[in-house]
Amino acid sequence: MRDDYFAWLEAVRNLSPRTLASYRRDLQKYGEYLAARTLAEEAVTAADARGFVGWLGRQGLSPRSVNRIVSGVRGYYRFRERRGRAAANPFAEVRGLRAPKRLPSFLFEDEMARLVELPETAAGGTVADRGAPSRRADDPFWRARDHAVLEVLYSTGCRVSELVALDLKDLDLGTGTARVTGKGDRERNVFLGGSALAALREYLGQRTGHAAADPDSLAALFLNQRGRRITDRGVRFILSGWLARAGLGKRVTPHTFRHSFATHLLDRGADIRAVQELLGHASLSTTQVYTHVGLDRLKKVYRRAHPHAS
């Protein structure tokens, strides 16, 4: 049954090999729990499911890890129900552990400006896509591509998965907008600021002839050094190279650009519901974490500056 489940995850939900491997590890952990109690999958009760949560917690796993594993097992039983292999889902009403909220990491405005402008201003060195030969960073096309990638990430606040899925047809340089497809196949418009538009025009002016001949490569906005659509791993690799040269001393991922985008908008007075729309969040509560980032910064300023704060 598990083989059918993983085949379904791969074919229908189109999960990546890395995510599938994570699901396998989670179900293996569940298998260990069942074996320790000589339980069969079809005989598990809600009490057994709650016992599994406690068993995971006693193994020293973080609340987030416990909740992820329980969510995966819950999904597995939903699959069994649909296939008629389980009368009920014993994990349906099982609550996970309360996880502490983590404030998102972000870059300050001057740090972001320093990073995104680097491909345009710093010559020499090497940048490479993973799996492709390195090229000189003074190559105009690859510098232009890297600059456009970083500018678009910051200007739009889009997820890296949304960025790599962008096609040429999704851009409207005249109106300064792009159409992205987010989670749940929800589409939204994002905005391209002046710096992003300039970087895109520079890149697109040199893109002709670099794309491979297959339809997907010809359609893709951003290309890797083999002329094919860039991957999220390729974006991370590009970012890591320029981050090392920027010398910011911070851990930065493509999602840091999204966090910074939201934080900077709210710091400058943007309405939180507008930021929610721009980020493509289904729930306002997801966006509200960025207000806590702003309050945390204000609190630090207050404690540092007010004579009676301490």
Query: How far apart are the C-alpha atoms of 142 and 133, rounded to whole Å?
Result: 12
The catalytically annotated residue of 159, 207, 229, 259 is 159
308 carries an active-site annotation? no
210 carries an active-site annotation? no
The catalytically annotated residue of 183, 201, 273, 292 is 183
The catalytically annotated residue of 80, 207, 229, 258 is 258
Cα→Cα distances 192→153, 156, 263, 264, 284, Å: 10, 6, 17, 15, 23
183 carries an active-site annotation? yes
- The total of other beta-carbon atoms located within 10 Å of residue 35's CB is 9
101 carries an active-site annotation? no
The catalytically annotated residue of 5, 33, 76, 290 is 290
Active site residues: 159, 183, 255, 258, 281, 290
